[in-house]
Structure 1
């Protein structure tokens, strides 16, 4: 057996073990009272808070930007701990998704009157719909509930955790028939086709995981954010519908905002800026309401933002010629800020200003 073949077999075996453990743990948790499950989740969240100082620092930096520099350190720490507990509750809910009857799953989510009509009216216009969300509350449940309501839903996802964990997450997300596409060139092409066929596509867009984003101002500070939803919407004519699922009273509140269309003029850079600023405004509005539910464990704001970033690195969802290579790169909206600090006064760990240009490859 060659080295590559052996590695594939080992990876496949690990993934099966991961899925099996998720199945077993979900099977156990589903049979426990929800109050017990959340009690266990809250304790697990605090344990993880203490065991992973890097994640703790990252979350503290993010939350400090949201709450403001004058927020007392004790309040920041309280919110940071709640972020870890919220994430643990989210995971226990996802573990139980494969076993929940549809009516019970529906009862966990309440929606405002007219919320579903927003999506239906957008689809009735003959456009696809991009449901753009943040890592806020139980963000995975947005797509689950849409699929439960009978919408044709595809989620564009990317691996941000070790493959062993990601295999379980993919299994849980797709356990009720939700379609998943990974953020690869081929995956994005299939998403574009789905939008042109009138489907709903879910994209989480509050962090530049590929370091290929465009400079933007988020909570008053410069960072980079992924332009993917805006680019795809401009290219396909799909409508963008910001949607969020904050946790409330042991369940969720599904908030569906009014849709908007990304302009398509001769100034692609300006079009991108307009769409991204509107999406950022929605993110800020909802994260401010429940900052303790912003389950973002990577640092969103780098120490410094360069004047240009490499566009479409290997693995980027916009790599290749699908939507144009580098044609719509936005420049910084303001001058780069001074190096930020967390509430302890220590500067955050720096990240590269740019990503080296890799060799071009095609899928």
Structure 2
């Protein structure tokens, strides 16, 4: 049944006019807001910490009413994210030129000029799926690291949608040679860094409170001696986007390997904070970040 639902929405995403697809996505998100109290609580608690930290660093009062506005907008943005996923077949080079403002591409080019590939750390922010598609359509070789799927049939949908746009998929737990092969081709490897999936994380002060963030992206960059930089696709007004690549994160100058990883994760956290604070309602990380469940 789940597979058939995905197939149905894949059909609608391609054949419905944009205005109707987004109306349906927003309407489903609105209903979901009211029928998922546990998820709503998780999103509220995550955003409360983000907005309190934002208020603290900007020296402004925290407003509970604004928090609930952002929670609703986060639901809506997830609805838009899903519409965008089902519309992936519509994307081509022409659409990228029309809709995407590219910022900091010289940071990516500088990293790739070393001919070692690049590890791009990203987050559940904006549209990370579309970020890979757009980067590929700009002419870059890209592999996305993804979790194995619950269903082989659903996995086929997700992987095919990426591969038809030039994005290779490396599933977590794959042979390390997959990563080495990608970097030898001077490819970009995109990996999420704001949520623990398959490993024990590193305790990090994040948004003013301790939590755990994954060590995987930093470990990958160190072990494979690849440049390490952040990248995000953020939603702007009127259906437009900004694809942003920040400066390369410097490898710490220390002989202690574990300390190198810790410092890299710490530096990554500061950059994730910067972008999440700027676009809090586009942060679609729906697991609790500050109650120990991330450990």
Match of residue 212, structure 2, among 224, 228, 250: 224
**Quick one: distance in 1 between partners of 2:114 and 2:264?**
19
What TM-score, normalized to structure 1?
0.72
Q: Deviations 1:7-49 (Å, cap 9, x if unpaired)?
A: xxxxxxx7xx72x654442333333332222222211111111
**Quick one: distance in 2 between partners of 1:267 and 1:225?**
20
**Structure 2 counterpart of 1:38:** 22
1:241 paired to 2:241: no
Alignment of 1:133-144 (within 5 A): 133-144=122-133
SS at 1:110's partner residue? strand
Q: Deviations 1:184-207 (Å, cap 9, x if unpaired)?
A: 042x44113322442110001101
**Structure 2 counterpart of 1:90:** 81
Alignment of 1:96-175 (within 5 A): 96-112=87-103, 115-159=104-148, 162-163=150-151, 168-175=157-164
Alignment of 1:195-234 (within 5 A): 195-210=183-198, 212-234=200-222
What TM-score, normalized to structure 2?
0.88
Task: Please tell me whether Structure 1 or Structure 2 has the larger radius of gyration of its CA atoms.
Answer: 1
Greater helix share, structure number: 2
- Structure 2: gaps spanning 5 or more residues: 54-60
Identify the range of structure 1 (150-159 vs 27-36) with the bigger mean alpha-carbon deviation. Answer: 27-36
Instruction: Assess if the C-alpha contact under 8 Å between 1:208 and 1:226 holds in 2.
Output: yes
Identify the range of structure 1 (286-295 vs 38-47) with the bigger mean alpha-carbon deviation. Answer: 38-47
RMSD value, Cα: 2.3
Q: Deviations 1:100-121 (Å, cap 9, x if unpaired)?
A: 3431244221113xx3222122
**Quick one: distance in 2 between partners of 1:105 and 1:22?**
25
**Quick one: distance in 2 between partners of 1:61 and 1:206?**
16
**Quick one: distance in 1 between partners of 2:120 and 2:134?**
12
**Quick one: distance in 2 between partners of 1:165 and 1:49?**
25
Match of residue 269, structure 2, among 274, 280, 304: 280
Q: Deviations 1:198-228 (Å, cap 9, x if unpaired)?
A: 2110001101123511111110111111011
Query: What is the aligned length?
Result: 286
Question: Structure 1 residues 119, 51: closer, same or farther in 2, change over 3 A?
Answer: same
Question: Structure 1 residues 172, 84: closer, same or farther in 2, change over 3 A?
Answer: farther
**Quick one: distance in 2 between partners of 1:168 and 1:62?**
30
**Structure 1 counterpart of 2:42:** 58
Identify the range of structure 1 (264-273 vs 223-232) with the bigger mean alpha-carbon deviation. Answer: 264-273
Instruction: Assess if the C-alpha contact under 8 Å between 1:137 and 1:294 holds in 2.
Output: yes
1:296 paired to 2:285: yes
Match of residue 266, structure 1, among 249, 255, 269: 255
**Structure 2 counterpart of 1:358:** none
Question: Structure 1 residues 352, 117: closer, same or farther in 2, change over 3 A?
Answer: closer
Q: Taking CA–CA contacts closer than 8 Å with sequence separation of 6 or more, which of the two structures ends up with the larger relative contact order?
A: 2
- Structure 1: gaps spanning 5 or more residues: 1-13, 304-350, 354-363
**Structure 1 counterpart of 2:57:** none
Please state how far the C-alpha of 1:255 moved relative to its aligned partner: 1.0
